Amino acid sequence: MVNDTLQVDLAVIGAGPAGQKGAIQAAKAGKTVVIVDRLGVLGGACLNQGTVPSKTLRSAILDLTGFIQSTHFGQEVRQLGDISVQDLRIRVKRVIEDENETLAQQCAANDVATVFGAARFANSHAIEVADQNGAVTARVEADKILIATGSRPRHPIDLPESDGLFVDSDIVFNMDNIPRSLIVLGGGIIGCEYATMFAALGVDVMLMDRRDDLLRMLDNEIAGAFVDFISQMPHMTIRLGQSIDRLQVGADGTRAQVVDKEGGMLEAECLFYSMGRVANIHGLALERAGIELDDLGYLPVNTLFQTSVGHIYAAGDVIGPPALASTSVEQGRLAVRNAFLLKSHHFPEFFPYGIYTIPEISSVGPTEEELKDKGIRYLVGRAKYAEMARGPIAGDTRGLIKLLFHAETREVLAVHIIGTHATELVSLGQMALDHRVRLDYFVDTIFNYPTFAEGFRIAALNGLNKLSEGDWS
């Protein structure tokens, strides 16, 4: 029985980064807003299963093991026995709860109403909210609707039944114990993030992928540096180009096994699969609103984030790549600004990618390969962390800052970084791209000493010295 009908200016389905930001944006513009979410808490997968817990876990593991510094200074990496799953879980739980609380306060402060339950369209202007038994508990009628339902891990087709042997990024936090061995299936961002984290923790990790490379979207040189780094990590084995036949449970029921096409078999105490994500559109009854999907199962939108139905917008993972929390937030904000005809702009041309592997990787702008394909006359400037005073001080001498710049105008075209603080440092490169900064600027600028940011100067010098004059210092 419907006990509640709400009439609002904007209904948002999904309380993750895109939905949350979109809702707040509408409220700030004086609109009435309701957010509907299945999870029963705010923050979406980003906060409750994805970005935030994994980054907290990573930060906790790096602090607890002293991994980066220990490997450099030749001290012992503090090992698994010393760190309990409890230590890690406490920290993650605290961060999530704090953030849940912050989001709830933000919604309250902005008069954003929240309704928990599964949303489905009744028609293009109305949403029904159902409880776990499928009973409709509320109905929301709205002028504009923002679909921001996110994504979930893609399951392997033949996932065997087991009790916790096969996990994805949604349930990895429910592990009772840290396994001693782990197979990671899938060498994309999520697979590489978890593989390096667990290896740093002392778990014997086997990272597998069908293809011959890891993190394919990266500049080749950076991806190569990453593979070099993790190849030397203790507890890490990499197996690329593996065609997998099937997954199975070992005879005693305590081992996850992977059988390859040649009949070879590998096993571990646990298997983590990260084979891409799929849009959450199931159960939304999009057909009743007249919305169409694309071939890959995403919601297609135009540059204003409008779906095929003019007053229904979509943002975040549900519309497909780049599917980052950072880009989703901006999409949600812009979608709502467009929906209510507020002053808006196009989605930024340049935005950074941040990959929270160990070591961290981040980039903004095209890869060297992309520039080559476009026939752009570029040059490369490099700075190794070992060349910056901060590198040895912080115990990270393996990082690299790579600047790509135009060989004639000297404008910065792209920045790719692997190493400590890469995700922070890349913002400096982004500023350079957005303001059409020439490489000379970094040479004439004073950087704090000792910092990693100085790497921009060292890389600029390296690049400029490749030009004819060669007298830069």
Partner 1 sequence: MVERIETDLAVIGAGPAGQKGAIQAAKVGRRALVVDRLNQLGGACLNQGTIPSKTLREAILDFRGFCDRSSAAAEQISIEDLDHRVRRVVEDQNCLIARQFDKNDIRYVSGAARFIDRDTMTVCDDKRNQTHEIRAERFLVATGSRPRNPGDVPFDQDTILDSDRLLRLKQLPQSMLVLGGGVIGSEYATMFAALGTAVILIDRADRPLSHLDAEVGRKFGDYIEAIGVQLQMGRTIVRIGRGADGGAEAETTTGEVFRADCLFYALGRQANVEELGLERAGVNIDENGYIAVNALFESDNPRVYGAGDVIGRGSLASIAMEQGRLAVRNAFSLKTGQFPEFFPYGIYTIPEVAGIGPTQEELENQGVHFQVGLAYYYELGRGPIAGDSTGMFKLIFHAETLEVLAVHIIGTNATELVHIGQVAIDFHARAHYFIDQIFNYPTFAEGYRVAALNGLNKLAASRQSYASE
Contact between 389 and partner 1 per CB under 8 A: yes
Q: Which of 49, 196, 430, 462 binds partner 1 (CB under 8 A)?
A: 430
Stretch that binds partner 1, among 56-64, 139-147, 251-259, 274-282 (CB under 8 A): 56-64
Window 67 to 86, contacts with partner 1 (CB under 8 A): 69, 73, 78, 82-84, 86
Residue from the set 4, 5, 85, 98 that interacts with partner 1 by CB under 8 A: 98
Work out whether 423 is an interface residue with partner 1 (CB under 8 A).
yes
Q: Using the rule CB under 8 A, is 45 a contact of partner 1? A: no
Interacting span for partner 1 (CB under 8 A) from 30-38, 179-187, 374-382, 448-456:
448-456
CB of 123 or CB of 445, closer to partner 1: 445
Residue 425 within binding range of partner 1, rule CB under 8 A = yes
Stretch that binds partner 1, among 50-58, 252-260, 263-271, 279-287 (CB under 8 A): 50-58
Nearer to partner 1, 140 or 437 (CB): 437
Q: 109, 296, 376, 393: which one contacts partner 1 (CB under 8 A)?
A: 393
For residue 36, what are its two tokens? Answer: 């509907």
Burial class (CB in 10 A: 0-12, 13-18, 19+), 111: exposed
Minimum distance, C-beta of residue 305 to partner 1, in the bound complex (Å) = 15
Q: Which stretch binds partner 1 (CB under 8 A): 47-55, 121-129, 209-217, 286-294?
A: 47-55
SS3 for the chain, per residue? CCCCEEEEEEEEECCCHHHHHHHHHHHHCCCCEEEEECCCCCCHHHHHCCHHHHHHHHHHHHHHHCHHHHHHHCCCCCCHHHCCHHHHHHHHHHHHHHHHHHHHHHHHHCCEEEEECEEEEEECCEEEEECCCCCEEEEEEEEEEEECCCEEECCCCCCCCCCCCEECCCCHHHCCCCCCEEEEECCCHHHHHHHHHHHHCCCEEEEEECCCCCCCCCCHHHHHHHHHHHHCCCCEEEEECCCEEEEEECCCCCCEEEEECCCCEEEECEEEECCCEEECCCCCCHHHHCCCCCCCCCCCCCCCCECCCCCEEECCHHHCCCCCHHHHHHHHHHHHHHHCCCCCCCCCCCCCEEECCCCCEEEECCCHHHHHHHCCCEEEEEEEHHHCCHHHHHCCCCCEEEEEEECCCCEEEEEEEECCCHHHHHHHHHHHHHCCCEHHHHHHCCCCCCCCCCHHHHHHHHHHCCCCCCCCC
Compute the least distance from the CB of residue 248 to partner 1, in Å. Answer: 37
Q: Which is nearer to partner 1, 7 or 84 (CB)?
A: 84
Binding residue count for partner 1, defined by CB under 8 A:
75
Backbone angles phi, psi at 399, to 5 degrees: -70, 170
**Residue in 26, 185, 453, 459 binding partner 1, rule: CB under 8 A:** 453
Residue with Cβ nearer partner 1 (267 or 454): 454
The nearest distance, CB 364 to partner 1, in angstroms, is: 9
* Residue 268 found at the interface with partner 1 (CB under 8 A): no
Residue 377 binds to partner 1 (criterion: CB under 8 A): no
Shortest distance, position 56 Cβ to partner 1, whole Å: 5
Q: Binding of partner 1 at residue 444 (CB under 8 A)?
A: yes
Question: Which residues from 151-210 bind partner 1, rule CB under 8 A?
Answer: none
387 counts as binding partner 1 under rule CB under 8 A: yes
Minimal distance in Å, beta carbon 151 to partner 1?
16
Q: Which of residues 323-362 bind partner 1 (CB under 8 A)?
A: 324-327, 329-330, 345, 348, 351-354, 362
Per CB under 8 A, does 87 bind partner 1?
yes
